[in-house]
């Protein structure tokens, strides 16, 4: 018979709490979503919910709009974030440490609190809440997630590569396009994934910054699920969103790995 100390020292034993946690809070909810998506309110199997989505123009247009907003936000974050990361990582510009801190600082505070504060700020200066405010809020919330990974790859890059490119006849613009940009792509990819995915499924920011006038896909799901008789339809929408996010993250990670030599 095994002694108690043997059981305690076995590595398998230590894994159990985590396995239990994962099953309860990751696997089970996924199974439930799938179950609800393929059943009616009284528990019979159906694909009706899916068919409903493809004929439900409001859901589809909200979905397309959400993806559009997410893409737009990702592009804005990339356009603003790359130069910021580049300047912070480049020793020549002597950016004070304070500046790097200021970019990261908002991440310390819960994004809901920040969004509420933004709403108050807009009200104070008399800026109309709506699409513009929504984009600003999204960008404000997710910009650090774009800057940080790009800053990281740029900072780890060997400075002598830049010198080598210059030595071989590349002017500043060529050094950037031929060396710095390609080498910072892993950071760009993770930045894109880290901004795009949460933006697609966001709903609180949209609610707060548009006075609930603009619905994103996340808000739609929330509406259906809190209205209990349409729980099954809400599950379908969640499942579709999940698949879309899964595809983007797969796109992100494969690109990422190919830069590191494609180990996985």
Partner 1 sequence: MQNPNCPAQGNVASQPQVSGDYIIEVKNVFKQFEDGKFALNDVSLSVKKGEFVTILGPSGCGKTTLLRCIAGFQVASSGDILLKGEDVTQTPPYKRPVNTVFQKYALFPHLNVFENVAFGLKMKKVEKTTIAKKVKAALKMANLTGYEDRKVDTLSGGQQQRVAIARAIVNEPEVLLLDEPLSALDLKMRHDMQIELKELHDKLGITFIYVTHDQEEALTLSDRVVVMSEGEIQQIGTPTDIYNEPINCFVADFIGESNILSGTMICDRKVRFCGHEFDCVDEGFGEMMPVDVVIRPEDIYILDNPEKGQLQGEVQSCIFKGVHYEMRVLTPDHFEFLIQDYHEFLPGRKIGMLVKPEDIQIMKKERLFNTFEGEIVKNNKVNFLEADWDLDPEVAAQFEPGDKVRVEVEFADVDLQDYEEEGTLTGEVHFILYKGDHYHLTIRTDEGYDIHVNTQDVWDDGDRVGVVILPKDIRVSKL
Select the span of 49-57, 130-138, 148-156, 169-177 touching partner 1 (CB under 8 A): 169-177
* 139 or 165: CB nearest partner 1: 165
Binding mask 83-122 for partner 1 (x = CB under 8 A): ----------------------------------------
Is position 178 an interface residue for partner 1 (rule: CB under 8 A)? yes
Please count the residues of the chain. Answer: 264
Using CB under 8 A, which of the segments 118-126, 178-186, 189-197, 201-209 binds partner 1? 178-186
Name the residue among 188, 189, 157 with its Cα closest to residue 175: 157
Backbone angles phi, psi at 227, to 5 degrees: -90, 100
CA distances from 188 to 16, 17, 83, 98, 181 (A): 37, 36, 12, 23, 9
Q: Which of 29, 43, 182, 246 binds partner 1 (CB under 8 A)?
A: 182
Residues binding partner 1: number (CB under 8 A): 19
Residue 169 is a binding residue for partner 1 (CB under 8 A): yes
Task: Please check whether residue 144 is in contact with residue 106, taking contact to mean a CB–CB distance below 8 angstroms.
Answer: yes
For tokens 């499924």, name the residue.
Answer: 201
- Subset of 134-163 contacting partner 1 (CB under 8 A): 158, 160-161, 163
The least CB distance from residue 191 to partner 1, in Å, is 18
Q: Give the closest residue to 206 by CA, choosing from 125, 146, 143, 130.
A: 130
Stretch that binds partner 1, among 16-24, 64-72, 100-108, 176-184 (CB under 8 A): 176-184
Shortest spacing between CB 5 and partner 1, in angstroms: 46
Q: Judged by CB under 8 A, does residue 170 bind partner 1?
A: yes
Ranges of H-type helices in the chain: 4-9, 11-22, 28-37, 48-55, 57-89, 97-104, 111-125, 131-156, 159-167, 172-175, 181-200, 204-209, 217-226, 231-259
- Contacts to partner 1 by CB under 8 A: 158, 160-161, 163-171, 174, 178-179, 182-183, 259, 261
């Amino acid at each position: 018979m095994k002694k108690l100390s043997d059981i305690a020292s076995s590595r398998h034993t230590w894994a159990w709490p985590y396995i239990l946690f994962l099953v309860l809070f990751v696997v089970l909810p996924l199974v439930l979503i799938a179950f609800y998506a393929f059943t009616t309110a009284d528990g019979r199997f159906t694909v009706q919910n899916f068919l409903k989505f493809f004929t439900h123009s409001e859901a589809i247009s909200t979905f397309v709009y959400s993806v559009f907003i997410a893409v737009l936000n990702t592009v804005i974050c990339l356009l603003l974030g790359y130069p910021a990361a580049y300047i912070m990582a480049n020793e020549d510009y002597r950016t004070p440490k304070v500046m790097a801190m200021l970019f990261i600082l908002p991440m310390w505070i819960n994004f809901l609190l920040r969004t509420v504060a933004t709403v108050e700020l807009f009200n104070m200066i008399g800026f109309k809440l709506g699409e513009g405010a929504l984009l600003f809020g999204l960008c404000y919330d997710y910009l650090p997630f774009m800057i940080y990974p790009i800053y990281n790859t740029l900072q780890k890059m060997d400075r002598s590569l830049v010198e080598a490119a210059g030595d071989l006849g590349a002017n500043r613009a060529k050094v950037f396009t031929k060396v710095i940009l390609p080498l910072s792509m892993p950071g760009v990819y993770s930045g894109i994934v880290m901004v795009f995915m949460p933006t697609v499924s966001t709903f609180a920011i949209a609610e707060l910054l548009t006075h609930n006038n603009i619905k994103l896909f996340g808000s739609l799901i929330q509406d259906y699920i809190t209205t209990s008789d349409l729980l099954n339809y809400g599950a379908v929408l969640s499942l579709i969103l999940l698949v879309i996010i899964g595809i983007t993250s797969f796109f992100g990670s494969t690109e990422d790995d190919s830069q590191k030599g494609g180990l996985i």
